Chain A
Amino acid sequence: MSVPAIELRGLEKSFGLAKIIQGVDLKIDKGERHAIIGPNGAGKSTLFNLITGKYAPTAGSVHLHGQDVSGKKPFEINRMGLSRSFQITNIFHNMTVFENVRCGLLWSMGYKYSFWHMVNGQRHLTEKADEILEQINLTSRRNVVAGALAYAEQRALEIGITIAGGADIIMLDEPCAGMSHSETDLIVDLIRKVTEGKTLVVVEHDMGVIFDLADRISVLVYGEIIESDTPENVRASKAVQEAYLGTTLEDAG
């Protein structure tokens, strides 16, 4: 294989005396759908925030396409082709659905800090934003203020904003949190559709979703990865079952 999309080398993160991530090594290949699971408090979100630049690592490094990005700011990492969603819905509540998606497009379509374009006059921009709305099935809600959307719709919009910029690495933080079964099925289909051909990293509690979606699964326990393998092998792993304290993986979600 060529250079991995994401590579973590001896990654550590401490908050004060608490060592949340203790030496994580991980390679995620291009085009792979990778899931990170683990019991509550294992450090999944911290790991996520380390990769996406919200936190700087205490030790070790993060590499994107072979390039060291440790300590870089979120916007710099985003510009290198990594985009993320949030566990807690993190959209622009006061803007319309359309404007939300358009905000996700502006940088990547080269508008950057422009003050000489009128956003409404940009045909390409509008078309692209409408295209994404179509993909996430929110065309009918185009001009609704995002804060007024139903929860499941906000989650879909969250994914829409995340993929809008065309990043080739997509990281989703619990995309199905707080959803019903039927809603979950819809969102999993959506994720599959919009991340076609991209590298996907997903943190999720719902094991059904994980085994359905992932090519490979890493199990994070107390800030360490104890297993990183195909879904079948992870399911069979003794160490993983012990980590979940005797419960089977299906119950753990």
Chain B
Amino acid sequence: MSTPATTPLTAGTRRLIPLNHALPWIIAAVCLFILPYVFDSRSALTIMNQMAITIVFALSYNMLLGQGGMLSFGHAVYMGLGGFFCMHLLNWVEAGLWLPLPLLPVFGGLFGLFFAFLIGSFSTRRAGTVFAMISLGVGELVAACSVIIVIFFGGEEGISGDRTMGPEVLGWDFGPQEQVYYLTALWLLIAALGMFLYSRTPIGRVANAVRDNEERAEFLGYSQRHVRWMSFMASGFFAGIAGALFAINFEILTEENLNLTTSGSILLVTFLGGVGFFVGPIIGAIVFTLLQTVLSLYTEIWALYLGILFVATVMFFPGGLAGLLAMHVLPWKLGKIGHLVVPYAKMLIPALAFVLSAAAVLEILFHKRHAGLGDHEMNLYGITFDSHGAMPLITVLAIAAVSLFAIVKLAPGLKAAWDDATHMGGHHG
């Protein structure tokens, strides 16, 4: 048998950052602490909270996809159910139940775990395609139930509550956004550390083994089904924590928190960041949240760009962003990372020109088709022009063609520089 081609799904064996030392974690904690002083606007806090929640969710998702080789199209279920349960808890707190807010995520996690236990009992029998399809079906089932079981899901308007009704902790009532940020950041650290440590336990390692070779693992005494089921429950637990953090931040949960769109976008986030690395989903969540926020400010067709980016990632960089970074570890170790600076800089100009002009083509076409009747005036990159005229379209098409030509011309040089930088010794022959 030939060695199977390296798949992007090989987390746990490669690393980008030595997370088994305390230092990266301390740096992360310090960064989380000072971030609100750097970005102190209300919207920045909201975005950072959003990011933190997405990171926890994406990390929990990667426990399945990256660590366990299980592709889920219904992971939002566990985050959503955890969140809904926490929303009810908050309402009970309002009615007199004693529960400090910082402990809420524990219960969200346990609720997620409970449902992962139930659903995992039949969904983890197989990996691969069957698991993926079952996760999709269960996801749709739960999402559809949200309009039927109104008492728990609140129907179409969802369930809302008030996070400030619990006992104060250290003088905080968690009304201000900033206090919520620190609570979220604390739980982000706890959850990330928990998931990292989990990957270093016997069950975490065996999850990798089952992912890579389930038959072999069975002949070493491990039931592949039980191993997957345990990974699934652990993942459900941390997804539930993410759900609780969502409940605390937004104080409302709706059907949207359960549906396929949410499940799909976490797959997008995780894959974009890189499933092969523990830090991949973290990078993915940060980049995705930023991209989404920025792009949606400037263009209506941001989702199209994200779709293109995702498909391109799957096709050309299946290791994701973390994989791209990891490719540069070798040149770095060889002390040749400097050799890449000039070729990269050369490539950057036509690449940027190509991306911007291609986007311009799409924008102009979109404007032509969908702008109001008689609205021909369009503003792009600070230039105002008539979107229905031929000139602008021809211009951007020409720029795109020229920059593409330049990219093709420069590619061999870049390839040579890369080969040189990844090999020991002198210049590549």
Contacts and interface: CB of A to CB of B under 8 A. Distances in A.
Interface of A: 52, 54, 73-75, 78-79, 83-84, 86, 88-96, 99, 102-104, 106-108, 111-120, 145, 147, 161, 165
Contacts of A161: 216, 220
B217 A94 contact: no
A89 B208 contact: no
B212 A106 contact: no
Contacts of A54: 215
A130 to B, nearest CB: 17
A52 B205 contact: no
Given A75-B221, A119-B205, A113 B226 contact: yes
Contact of A92 (B216, B219, B234): B216
B219 A84 contact: yes
Contacts of A73: 218, 223
A115 B199 CA distance: 9
Given A74-B218, A115-B202, A118-B200, 18 more contacts: A75-B222, A78-B218, A78-B219, A86-B216, A93-B212, A93-B213, A99-B205, A102-B205, A103-B206, A103-B217, A103-B220, A106-B222, A108-B221, A113-B203, A117-B202, A118-B197, A119-B201, A147-B3
B203 A75 contact: no
A74 B212 CA distance: 17
A114 B219 contact: no
Q: Which residue, B6, B205, B213, B216, has most C-beta atoms of chain A within 10 A? A: B216
Contact of B205 (A83, A89, A106, A145): A106
Contacts of A147: 3
Contacts of B216: 86, 90-92, 161
A111 B213 contact: no
Contacts of B4: 93
A1 to B, nearest CB: 28
B41 interface: no
Contacts, number: 105
Contact of B201 (A52, A79, A115): A115
A92 B213 contact: yes
Interface in B198-242: 198, 200-206, 208-209, 212-213, 215-224, 226-227, 230, 234
17 contacts: A74-B215, A74-B218, A75-B221, A78-B218, A83-B219, A92-B212, A93-B3, A94-B13, A99-B205, A103-B209, A106-B202, A106-B206, A115-B202, A116-B201, A117-B201, A117-B202, A118-B197
B23 interface: no
B10 interface: yes
Contacts of B6: 94
Interface of B: 1, 3-4, 6, 10, 13, 20, 197-198, 200-206, 208-209, 212-213, 215-224, 226-227, 230, 234
A104 B234 CA distance: 23
A79 to B, nearest CB: 5
A186 B203 CA distance: 34
A127 B227 CA distance: 25
Contacts of B223: 73, 75
Contacts of A112: 202
Contacts of A84: 219
A26 to B, nearest CB: 21
B334 to A, nearest CB: 18
A120 B202 CA distance: 9
B202 A113 contact: yes
A95 B210 CA distance: 12
B16 to A, nearest CB: 16
A223 B186 CA distance: 64
Contact of B221 (A52, A78, A116): A78
B362 to A, nearest CB: 39
Contacts of B222: 75, 106-107
Q: Which residue, B198, B208, B222, has most C-beta atoms of chain A within 10 A? A: B222
A120 B205 CA distance: 11
B1 A89 contact: yes
Nearest to B230: A113
B123 to A, nearest CB: 18
Contacts of B209: 92, 95, 103
A120 B212 contact: no
A91 B13 CA distance: 14
Contacts of B234: 115
Nearest to A125: B202
Contact of A114 (B202, B208, B212, B218): B202
Contacts of A145: 13
A145 B208 CA distance: 14
A81 to B, nearest CB: 10
B1 A88 contact: yes
